[in-house]
Structure 1
Amino acid sequence: MKGKKKVEFVIYGLHPALFCSEVDNYFICPICYFVASDPVSCKTCEQIYCEGCIDRYSKIKENKCRVCKFDLEITPLRKFPRKVYESFFLYCPNFNYGCRFEGGIKEIHEHKSVCDFKKLNCANPLCAHNFLSKDRPIPDADVCSIQCLETFQLSELLGKTGRVEISKFFWKCLQNHREHYEETIEKEFLDITSGKNTAKTEMEGELKELEDYFEDVKWHIHLGKYVNEAWTCCQEKKDAIGCSLLQRP
């Protein structure tokens, strides 16, 4: 028994919650049940669809309108519906990821392609990591790391170039990693050594402060000694404080 063909469900429409005011049901796509994105209409009944939704539906299911059931012929929106549609004001679809851009529907479509909060999938076929556009480490590359970039580039080369070109690319990757690790190790070594010098300087300063403190204490506290059956100290010295001749009890 053959297994059923797996169909990936993709939503092309815009969530109604993104709009600053309520949207009439006329603009709801009957496939994804969201506000139509890049809207087109059925020539027969003028039902509005997302361009992406109806294109995918006609290829997977049937090339018929879901409402009037006639053969589907797609046309652009008429002037008045188009004008109403373009008057909508909404938030960026990446609002939940931190974007606070607001604008008309035309502006939103232009903004989406350059939004820093757009969620991206790593281009490396072996990586399942997702990240925001603003967080990608390599500009203009939809990868999450240098390793993923190299893996993606290698996967693009396989089957398109000869063994020599692949070997050259692999050798270049190894050289780049070697240089990177050498720079990292050298930097860490400099940080450690400079940190030791700093710690040594700080310790020497603390020791000097302690020596000065002990020297000061030494001239204020005098243990004294017995002299001719009497306990005496350094009462004759000018630097002594509070010293006096004490008789032994």
Structure 2
Amino acid sequence: MSTVTTSVADAAIMLRRNLKHTTRNPLVLFNAVLFPIVIMLMFVWVFGGAFDTGERKYIDYATPGLLVMAISYGLGSTATAVNSDMTKGIINRFKVMDVSRGSVLTGHVVVTTVRCLVADAAILGVAFAMGFDPGASALDWLGAIGLLVLLSFAAGWLTVAVGLAAKTAESAGLATVPLIMLPFLSSAFVPADTMGTGVRQFAQYQPFTPVIETLRGLLEGDPSRGDAIAAGAWCAGFALVGYVWAVATFKKRA
């Protein structure tokens, strides 16, 4: 069997392992899938009437940001799981079993991507039930889904790197808090122009805002090329930094 075939087979085994861990942990499922829905209901039904989003219904404005938020909320469990594998000797057991090292990291990234997409599917389902009315064409939907996959994949690599670098599982989970908070300090829930000085500039230039604005444009059927380029660049940067950092840390610690 070739090295490539062996690596793919090992990655599939690691993916099944991580999926089983996810489905058997109710807290992970709640944080990754159900809690974003709770946040969605709270913002749309409780706070939505207080926000000025122009002629758009608030559910139409907020859904793109909620999709990004759903991705960020599932990252803490990934960092914790990766760190637990490293600090509890699981990685050393895999080395004795001659499991491909790359498959261990790939398995965590893929299961993170799948979990994020499941959360986004749940958000979209609830959004449609609440009156979400996008004007996107089939091509726009394809672009939006592609961007969500790219962001989930990039965030997965960055989170795996954070989990490997942390000393304990607790500190690994804590290190993902900035990624969880960034959507709240973006244009996810209110236009950045309505924010105060300082916060407005941060919201305009932080990584998640161009991703959210690109998604908003795609779902409205009027995407912005400038936002799309910035969103793609941020996602590519996250993926590259995360991959290089994760591989370097894994080689050093494993």
Which has the larger Rg? Answer: 1
Greater length-normalized contact order (CA 8 Å, ≥ 6 residues apart): 2
TM beyond 0.5: no
Superposition TM-score, scaled by structure 1 size: 0.20
Name the one with the larger strand percent: 1
Structure number having the greater helix percentage: 2
Normalized against structure 2, the TM-score is what?
Answer: 0.20
